[in-house]
Amino acid sequence: MHPALTLGKLRGLQEISNPKGLFTITALDHRGSLAKALNPSAPKSVTYQQMVDYKIRLLSALAPHSSAILIDPVFGAAPALQGAHIAGNQGFLVSLEATGYEETQGDRLTTVAEGWSVEKIKRMGASAVKILLYYNPGSASAAQQEDFVRRSVEECREFDLPLLVEPMTYHVAGGPKKGTAEFAKLKPEMVIETARRLCPLGIDVLKAEFPDDPDFENDEPAMAAHCRELSEAAGIPWVLLSAGAAYDTFQQQTTIACESGASGFLAGRAIWQEAPGLPEAEQREFLRTTAVGRLQELTGIANRSGRPWTRLYAEQLHTVDVAEGWQTRF
């Protein structure tokens, strides 16, 4: 079942998609993983300003070629707006969650970033909210993670913002480790079952992992079948996340996903992951040329093959209340 499409959610989805109704969004909300990329031997030594400066370089190169930007509340969101690094006519999303997760007996729980809220995301003028959710349907924490989604759905409904949810699979204590052949066999059904459970809770867009692990599956018909199952299970627009995949791998995954029902991509490291290790001048050149080229290529794939979100919300578009007196009911 689709969530109710209200005027605020409608506008937010319009702002983060392109004129074709596809999501071609660049993710720049990395925190802990980015610090490790900037200084692998001593990530805790990376300063606040170094994180901000790198995100500004990414924004300067990639924002003009993205339908929207996903940014974090700690290092990116305020400097991006203060310096006009996101255009005034461009949509942006802000992460709600704290980086990482709380761990209890091998299970993972998502928490809200310190001092942050959906209300503050609304107040700063964002188009949508995103939460990353470590989720395993068989984990003891699955019900608590689902409750976190429900609370986020209610808050986004209160402030009339679209909610994108990014579930990330993980292994539970005693189960096969992620990255092994045993886990890879379980992953497609895990990703699909996750969509079955979370999408009916009222989220607006699913930010999904590719169902198959490319290290253990390279049969395109099988991968396409899993993506079609994911589309069916979600029942709402979904976009593909890159999860740090190499660009060539992500390009193939984006093609398969969009041909199988995805509404675009929301990608970060697959586009720019080589840049942090380069000297600043080379970094800027890499972003200006290679990273922009990748983003444009992925956008072309989405535009040719993706399923516009408006097609999935066609009925809701016609039932948004615009009848006389709507302002008294809004």
CATH number at residue 186: 3.20.20.70
Flag whether 193 is in a domain. yes
Flag whether 25 is in a domain. yes
Flag whether 80 is in a domain. yes
Flag whether 1 is in a domain. no
Q: Is 211 helix (H, G, I), strand (E, B) or coil?
A: coil
DSSP 92: E
Flag whether 2 is in a domain. no
pLDDT of residue 103: 82
Q: How many domains does the chain fold into?
A: 1
d(CA 109, CA 192): 20
Domain of 291? 7-329
pLDDT of residue 189: 97
Q: N- to C-terminal Cα distance for the chain?
A: 22
Flag whether 278 is in a domain. yes
pLDDT in tens, the chain (330 residues): 567 899 999 999 999 999 999 999 999 999 988 999 899 999 999 999 999 999 999 999 999 999 999 999 999 999 999 999 999 999 999 999 998 888 877 789 999 999 999 999 999 999 999 999 999 999 999 999 999 999 999 999 999 999 999 999 999 888 899 999 999 999 999 999 999 999 999 999 999 999 999 999 999 999 999 999 999 999 999 999 999 899 999 999 999 999 999 999 999 999 999 999 899 899 999 999 999 999 999 999 999 999 999 999 998 888 898 999 999 998
Flag whether 289 is in a domain. yes
d(CA 196, CA 211): 13
pLDDT of residue 267: 95
Flag whether 171 is in a domain. yes
Question: Strand 163-168 relative to strand 205-208: parallel, antiparallel, unpaired?
Answer: parallel
Q: Is 162 helix (H, G, I), strand (E, B) or coil?
A: coil
162: amino acid identity, one letter: P
pLDDT of residue 1: 54
Structure tokens at 77: 């969101």
